[in-house]
Amino acid sequence: MQISALEVTKLLTTEKSKPGKRGKADLEFIQITPDSLPETAQPDAAEVARVVEMVKKVPDVREDIVMQLKERIERGEYEVSSEEIAEMMMRRMKADRVR
C-alpha cells in the first residue's frame, strides 16, 4: 500500500480537529520495530507464512473489478472529470516521491 503526502496531511488535519486531540506541533513520531512490539503483538512464523501465501494468491489484476468498470463504461454510467484525473495524477506523483 502506498500513502501519499495528501493522505497523510488529511489524516493529520482530521486528528487535529477531533476534540481532546493534540495539535500537529504536539505530535510525536516513534519508530516501531519488531523488537519494540509487545510479545502478544508479534506474529509467529506460521502466521506470517500464511499471510504471505494469501497475498501471493491475490491476482495482479482484479478481473471482477475490471469487468464491472467495463460494463459501466459501456452503459455510459462511468464518468470521471478531468479535475479528478488531474488530482489523482498529482497524488500518485507525490506518493511516488515519498517512496
Q: Measure Cα distances from 41 to 28, 52, 96 in Å.
A: 21, 18, 30
Q: What is the pLDDT along the chain (99 residues), one digit of tens a residue?
A: 455 666 666 666 655 555 555 444 555 666 666 666 666 666 678 888 888 888 888 888 889 999 999 999 999 998 889 999 999 999 999 888 876
- The DSSP call for residue 79 is -
Tens of pLDDT, residue by residue over 19-45, are 555 444 555 666 666 666 666 666 678
pTM of the model: 0.35
Contact in structure between 12 and 24 (CB atoms under 8 Å)? yes
CB 11 within 8 A of CB 27: no
Give me the residue spans of the domains in the chain: 5-98
Instruction: State the cell numbers at 75.
Output: 452503459
